[in-house]
Structure 1
Amino acid sequence: MTDNDLKDLLDREAMRINNIDFIDRDPVQFPRRFSKLQDIEIASLLSATIAWGNRKMICRDCDRMLALMDNDPYNYVMDEGYEELPDMNIHRTFFSKNLRHFLRGLHAVYSRHASLADFAKAEAIADDELPSWKLVASLNRELAAANNGEADCRCLPGNLTTTALKRVNMALRWLVRNDGIVDMGVWNVITPS
């Protein structure tokens, strides 16, 4: 494949994915339902967390997960509604116990910071050579602290030396990049590059 062939392929894929028609078939639709920053952040992280497998099933399960939260993620987290979740499957190998683990950590973060963006600023992720990895390490610390020191790799990857953080970077793309089409660009914590 020549450089021109590769450029053409990437341009075609960008046109296919980065358009308004793509949103309704992709997990990005879920954070886009909200206008409050905290709701967007929570929906972005959770939707990206379960974004593996069949896209139709991912979207179905994201929709169901947000419905469990009364489609009010921030208030659900702050009211600790997750403690009442029955044991159930959320998506493939992600269960309500994993969701509770994640939301306890987010509750701890939001109890001290107005937003995840503020948390990311306080953690100085923009100053790190690998801001996504710094963010995940910081969030993992918060999740473990909120769960009696226990880690849960179903929420966020634990071994940061071997992961590409594809799903976390997808959520960050939604939060950071403002293309005026698909990505929302509600964070100014790090640059899109």
Structure 2
Amino acid sequence: MTKAELRATLDHYHDRYNRPDFIPDDPIGLVHAFDDPRDREVIGFWVATLAWGRRATIINKGAQLIELMGGEPYRFITEHREEDRARFADWKHRTFTYTDTLYFLEYLQRFYQENASLETAFSRHLTPEDQTIEPALIGFHNDFFSLPEAPQRTRKHVASPARKSRCKRLCMYLRWMVRQDDRGVDFGDWHQISPGQLCLPLDVHVERQARRLKLLKRKQTDWQAVLELTAAVRRFDPEDPGRYDFALFGMGIDESK
């Protein structure tokens, strides 16, 4: 396949899957339920963190979480009292347990006492000269677990390139918040991070198609693989490489039907 043919194929699948029809069956649909960007960034971060396993289960657990927050994620985070946290005692998703929930609530409440947007937790570690979001992900991870009471077990739920993780869920979350186009899927609420700095979320569907198309040759599925794949698709659109997440993910979905 020539470079032109490859780009045409990727653009075809991008156009097919970057559309509102994609929303209802995807966890991002939970985020679309909110008009306030502050609600979107709170529940988006939490839902993205839960995004492993069956999509239907992720959506169900996310909906339960929103209900426990009284349908107002940002207001709950900023105004709840310690006794309000007990309502989450029976809520969990796979290995994400009450201990993890308590720490997420603690970190987010403290963060919003001093900051207006969760974007700052990422963007303050990034400069316009940085080619990718790698410094933002490392800095966010370090900040997130800077509280003295941070449980060791919770670290597995917030990845970092410093630990060679592919950071799939955080890459997906930043795609939601940063990318902006006229397709109606991603939100583009954040403006201190450039879409050109985004990295592709490397899940099993994306990895399989990337290897099939020879966009990814590295054997290990780690952060270096994410950088390799992102660099490969950046050749086709250096200002918005993240849009090819739709293409590769969509190709994988089509193949599995």
- Match of 2:56? 56
Q: Tell me which moved more, 91-100 or 7-16.
A: 7-16
Specify whether residues 162 and 59 from structure 1 end up closer, same or farther in structure 2 by C-alpha distance, changes over 3 A only. same
Aligned 8 A contact 2:141 2:158 in 1: yes
TM-score, length-normalised on structure 1?
0.85
Q: Which structure is larger by alpha-carbon Rg, 1 or 2?
A: 2
User: CA shift at 1:36, angstroms?
Assistant: 1.9
Query: Structure 1's 93 and 142: CA in aligned 2 closer, same or farther, altered over 3 A?
Result: same
Q: Does 1:39 align with 2:42?
A: no
Distance 2:175 2:85 in 1: 30
Output the CA distance in 2 between the equivalents of 1:147 and 1:38: 26
Counterpart-to-counterpart distance in 2, 1:59 and 1:25: 8
Sequence identity (%): 27
Per-residue deviation, 1:190: 0.8
Unaligned runs of 5+ in 2: 197-257
Q: Which residue of 1 aligns with 2:110?
A: 108
- 1:163 deviates by 1.2
1:1-193 alignment runs, 5 A limit: 1-80=1-80, 83-121=85-123, 123-127=124-128, 129=130, 132-146=133-147, 148-151=149-152, 152-158=154-160, 160-180=162-182, 181-193=184-196
User: What is the distance in 2 between the residues matched to 1:148 and 1:106?
Assistant: 14
Please give the per-residue CA displacement for 1:84-122, whole angstroms capped at 9, x wherever unaligned: 23433422221232122112111111111111124444x
Unaligned runs of 5+ in 1: none
Any idea what the Cα deviations from partners look like across 1:39-61, whole Å, max 9, x if unmatched?
Answer: 11111111111111111111111
Change (3 A) 1:87 1:132: farther
Letter of the 2:164 counterpart: T
Task: Determine helix, strand or coil for the equivalent of 1:91.
Answer: coil
Size of the alignment, in residue pairs?
A: 192
Alpha-carbon distance change, 184 to 38 in structure 1, aligned in 2, over 3 angstroms: same
- Asked if 1 retains the 8 angstrom alpha-carbon contact of 2:77 and 2:108, the reply is yes
Amino acid at match of 1:145: S
| Aligned-residue RMSD, C-alpha | 2.4
Q: 2:120, 2:161 → 1: CA distance?
A: 25
Conserved 8 A contact 1:176-1:188: yes
Residues 155 and 69 of structure 1: is their aligned pair in 2 closer, same or farther, counting only changes over 3 Å? Answer: farther
